Amino acid sequence: MPVDQLIPGKTYLLFSHTKKKQRQNQPLLHAIMQNKITLIDYECLEHDDGQRIIGFGFFAGIVGAHNGMMAYGNRTGLYKLDRVYRQKSLRELIHSYFGLRLPDVKIAITGSGRVAHGILEIMNLMGIHEVEPDEYLKRRFSYPVYTQLKGADLYRNKTDGSYSREEFHENPDRYECKFLPYISQTDILMNGIYWDKNAPRLFEKEDIAGENFIIQTIADISDDPGGSIPINLGDQTLEDPVYGVDKMTMQKTAPYLPGSIDIIAVGNLPNELPRDASRYFGEQLIKYVLDDLVKGGNEIIERATITVNGHLTKYFEYLREYAEGK
């Protein structure tokens, strides 16, 4: 939402992208408070167990996975995929995979939420076989494969080696990442994990210069610049979604160059399938939110309300200094 178009005193439902104190949207939240606006954030609408109610994650996963496979094909020249936005619908996109023959590629998928579900949909539609993480690490295959790495596969407590989802989300600094063995067995990385600034990264910048780092294409669908993928150097556009990162200098380059890794990092991936994504989003909104919203709200809506008349609610008091620009 452009700051200069905010209407004072109104109630807004939108993705503010402020709950993680995203620096680029600090002026937006500050202006919302200054203009005495009530803000309900779609991202914060959650069931009692913390599961998101609505969002575009599934379609971000679909488009991001397709673009990752497209970029690898462009780099290697072994197959060719067209752009998603040239298809009228998801159904047409599926038809474009008929007869697609892929090389013996190995793909690591991180995450277990909506984004990951979208990635898995594309893997299955392309006929890529799933293998267990331990089998994935042992050998190459004579056909394309993927493995899905969830929380317990990726993180362990520094003290006792255990994993607790609840503890990890509350105290991610207590954990270390277990992804490094996969950098020598993976051609394409599809990243769909939620990242917190205190959480360990999948790898560090210095790791990519090693001979054992064979990943050539990274679709960072979660898209946190400098986050779980430390060589995510910022967003590209839908029109031009791929850039390279030089393995020695860590500088952004053109894609598909020798000595570089291709990165797909786009913040509005679902816009490549606007009809399907919008219909899905609207159906979820109508099913779970709209009726109660019209009737005056409920606990779910209350927990997703960041400000009321410009004042932070109790659920988002932790944003105080960030919102005030300190």
Number of helices (H), then strands (E), in the chain: 11, 14
pTM (2 d.p.) = 0.87
- The answer, yes or no, to whether residue 325 has pLDDT greater than 80, is no
Bridge partners, 217 (sequence order): 188, 262
State pLDDT tens for residues 287-320.
989 999 999 889 999 999 999 999 999 999 999 9
What pLDDT, on the 0 to 100 scale, is given for residue 195? 85
Q: How far apart are the first and last CA of the chain?
A: 22
Average pLDDT, the chain: 94
- Other Cβ atoms less than 10 A from the Cβ of 298: the count is 12
Q: What is the pLDDT of residue 326?
A: 66
- Which is it for strands 305-308 and 38-41: parallel, antiparallel or unpaired? antiparallel
Q: What is the pLDDT of residues 261-296, one digit of tens each?
A: 999 999 899 999 999 999 999 998 999 899 999 998
List, by residue range, all CATH 3.40.50.720 domains of the chain.
3-54+274-323, 57-272
The CATH architecture that domain 57-272 belongs to is 3-Layer(aba) Sandwich (3.40)
pLDDT of residue 182: 98
Please determine, for residue 96, whether its predicted confidence score (pLDDT) is greater than 90: yes
What is the dihedral sign for C-alpha 263, 269, 271, 275? positive
Local structure of 108: helix, strand or coil: strand
Q: E strand or H helix at 202, and its extent?
A: none
Residue 93 has pLDDT above 90, yes or no: yes
pLDDT greater than 80 at residue 28 = yes
Residue 177 · residue 155 · CB < 8 Å: yes
pLDDT grade for 251, boundaries at 50, 70 and 90: very high
**Token representation of residue 100:** 């697609």
- Residues 151-175: pLDDT tens digits? 999 999 999 999 999 899 899 999 9
* Beta bridge partners of residue 108, listed in sequence order: 147, 189
Fold of domain 3-54+274-323: Rossmann fold (3.40.50)
Dist. CA 256–CA 265, nearest whole Å: 15
Can you say whether residue 127 is alpha, beta or left, with left for phi > 0 and alpha for psi between -120 and 50 degrees? left
Tell me, what's the pLDDT at 74? 98
pLDDT at 324 > cutoff 90: no
